[in-house]
Chains A and B, each alone.
Chain A
Amino acid sequence: MRVSQEVGVGLPAQLMQQRSGLGKSFEKSKHLLLLVLPCLLFFAMFRYVPMFGVMISFQNYNMFKGVWQSDWVGLKYYMMFFQNPDFFLLLRNTFLLSFYQLLFGFPAPILLALLLNELRLQAFKRIVQSLSYLPHFLSYVIVASMIIGFLSPTGGLVNQVMGWFGADPVNWLIEAQWFRTIYVTSGVWQSIGWSSILYLAALTAIDPHLYEAAEMDGAGRFRKMWHISLPGIMGVTVVLLILNVGNMLDVGFEKVYLLSNPSIYETADIISTYVYRVGLVEGNYSYATAIDLFTGIINLVLLLLVNTIARRMGENSMW
């Protein structure tokens, strides 16, 4: 008791003031802090504890011993991954799937938005928009089931139509060379409409006077699109591109998992499906976590890199 008193007395006046400032600020914010408390607990529990849980990738994690008692093995599992003959295959599959998705999936909604913007019948435009948004709300289970049904070698719609032209039925989902095409095409089908919303909004925000002025100068349809519409959506485009490139190795697990099968792992096995198999199916927690952490770090570096480049070039960056 005496000590605390002494400390209290001995505090410099400035520090005292700061402390009471902190106290005051806490007093003022306490209700808001109460509102944000569940959020803090959630992120601590389900996001930050797992972040520290990545240390099991440096251990020979044993469920019964737990995180604190398991033996440390250093970089063993990282070495194991780099020396795995599947390492390059997984990296290549993940990267290529992402790359093709970006190559076709990124410009498609921009094109759609530009074309929708040229429609003069507003009612028709609204109908097309509504219909094109719809697939976005379907689950991957539904989309994958539809793909499996339509591409079925016996009675599937696609093979049936090909039959009219005398083509032999193809077993699309068993032949590795078709996987990326199927994945990317269905991805464009599902997201082209919804992704065009942001571009359309940016297009409607363009000052109509710009178009009028361009017309006075004799600009045609395509020149107006090129010189006014496209620059008008540049800001949105760059931000979305950064996000997409930054998530290059973060290909969604669900759809790939639902569409792939062992016979096409040659193209369809990506890092996240491999992590799921090694970790949760085979129970090799440490190894799976090492792979996850490795890709997570590459992703982070990619994102920072792309953002820096965008900022250097003077375009919008995310921060």
Chain B
Amino acid sequence: MGNSTKWKWNTFDVCNIGFMVLLSLVMVYPFIYMTSVSLSGTTEVLQGNVFLWPKGFNLKSYELVFNDPRVMIGYVNTILYTLTGTFVSLTLTAMAAYALSKRWMMWNKTITFLVVFTMFFSGGMIPTFLVVKAVGIMNTFWAMILPSAFNVWYLVMMRAFFANIPGELEEAGKMDGMSDLGVFFRIALPLSKSSLATIGLFYGVGIWNNYLTPLLYLRNPELLPLQVILRDIVMSGLNLDRADAFTNDNFVVGEALKYATIMVGTIPILCVYPFLQKYFVKGALIGSLKG
């Protein structure tokens, strides 16, 4: 839109750019601050000297965080939950979405209605809890995967993707004697790789960040995901193996430990985000095309 207007800077532009710079700082500064404190020396942190970059650089707080055996357990569990859960959810969602994208399918309208209705009304926390218990997956690996295997939004988005695949390609497949299953696996799926990646990412982030499900369904400390463990550490401190952790020269402030813990939970997201951002944005936009 700027092309047609003359390139003239006025007060509005200056204020606008200033505002945007400020906004960006507000988004980024918390991470800079936490990183610096977590990498700084004890005295500097206690004196309140650390704001932009680490002073008295050391990795002691990270060492302590990773020395807590729970952190490693949580990491491994979360990675397993995320990989398995994303695979299961994505596969099942793609299958259902493909079927529901075919309007001529028998009972299509009924099934779609039943699925969408669950967005507006649910049985609530307790009845769902009782069902999970009755099914026998309480306090097992599958409690993190099955009760939230489908997300209605993602199903609707995926259905819209599949509905946009040109019918001729599928017709051609059928001419070659493929069944609907064959068309789905060999034509529709390969054509929607980027959509699958998008929805898969959404599912993945959801599982990685999930705190409610383990809070409700998991008791066994061996099964807890990273989020629960991060919360425990931030609220009540580390399980320190080493008695020397709090001797004089090793003393690390609570703040530094807290921020190191938070960064340990955030770094994976910060690392993948720049590479995957375009898929996320694409997903957000497709979500607006209602199926």
**Interface positions of B from 94 to 135, Cβ below 8 Å from A:** 95-96, 98-100, 102, 104-107, 111, 114-115, 118, 120-132, 135
- Residues from chain B with a CB closer than 8 A to the CB of A127 are 24
Encode B16-42 as 1/0 by CB contact (under 8 A) with A: 110110011011101001100000000
Given contacts A51-B122, A138-B266, A292-B125, whether A46 and B147 have CB atoms under 8 Å apart is: yes
Given contacts A45-B135, A115-B20, whether A120 and B184 have CB atoms under 8 Å apart is: no
B147: nearest residue on chain A (CB-CB)? A46
Instruction: With both chains docked as a complex, state the minimum distance between the C-beta of A95 and any C-beta of chain B, in angstroms.
Output: 19
B1 within 8 A of A: yes
Given contacts A33-B106, A35-B181, A115-B19, whether A198 and B288 have CB atoms under 8 Å apart is: yes
| Structural contact, A142 and B230, CB atoms closer than 8 A | yes
| Structural contact, B281 and A133, CB atoms closer than 8 A | yes
| Structural contact, B129 and A197, CB atoms closer than 8 A | no
Q: With the chains together, A128 CA to B27 CA distance in Å?
A: 9
Q: With the chains together, A160 CA to B208 CA distance in Å?
A: 33
Encode A99-130 as 1/0 by CB contact (under 8 A) with B: 00000000000001001111110001001101
**Interface positions of A from 141 to 162, Cβ below 8 Å from B:** 141-142, 144-146, 148-150, 152, 155, 157, 160
Besides A36-B111, A139-B208, A198-B287, 5 other A-B contacts (C-beta < 8 A): A50-B131, A132-B27, A246-B120, A253-B212, A292-B126
List chain B positions with a Cβ less than 8 A from chain A. Answer: 1-2, 4-5, 7, 12-13, 16-17, 19-20, 23-24, 26-28, 30, 33-34, 45-46, 48, 92-93, 95-96, 98-100, 102, 104-107, 111, 114-115, 118, 120-132, 135, 146-147, 149-150, 155, 179-181, 184, 205, 208-212, 215-216, 227-228, 230-231, 234-235, 253-255, 258-259, 261-262, 265-266, 269-270, 273-274, 277, 280-281, 284-285, 287-288
Q: With the chains together, A141 CA to B27 CA distance in Å?
A: 17
| Structural contact, A296 and B122, CB atoms closer than 8 A | yes
| Structural contact, A212 and B4, CB atoms closer than 8 A | yes
Given contacts A43-B114, A149-B262, whether A272 and B127 have CB atoms under 8 Å apart is: no
| Structural contact, B95 and A36, CB atoms closer than 8 A | yes
Q: With the chains together, A258 CA to B227 CA distance in Å?
A: 12
17 A-B pairs with CB atoms under 8 Å apart are A29-B105, A31-B181, A32-B98, A33-B106, A38-B96, A50-B123, A118-B12, A138-B269, A139-B210, A141-B211, A141-B228, A145-B261, A149-B34, A155-B255, A198-B284, A280-B125, A303-B120
Given contacts A36-B100, A51-B123, A215-B4, whether A45 and B288 have CB atoms under 8 Å apart is: no
- Residues from chain B with a CB closer than 8 A to the CB of A112 are 23
- Residues from chain A with a CB closer than 8 A to the CB of B215 are 257
Say which residue of A25, A138, A289, A303 sits within 8 Å of B124 (CB atoms).
A289
Report which residue of A47, A53, A120, A221 has the largest number of chain B beta carbons within 10 angstroms of its beta carbon. A47
List chain A positions with a Cβ less than 8 A from chain B. Answer: 25-26, 28-29, 31-36, 38-40, 42-43, 45-54, 56, 112, 115-120, 124, 127-128, 130-135, 137-142, 144-146, 148-150, 152, 155, 157, 160, 189, 193-194, 197-198, 201, 208, 211-212, 215, 221, 236, 246, 253-254, 257-258, 272, 275-276, 279-280, 285, 288-289, 292-293, 296, 299-300, 303
Q: With the chains together, A32 CA to B134 CA distance in Å?
A: 30
Instruction: With both chains docked as a complex, state the minimum distance between the C-beta of B231 and any C-beta of chain A, in angstroms.
Output: 5
Given contacts A31-B179, A35-B184, whether A197 and B234 have CB atoms under 8 Å apart is: no
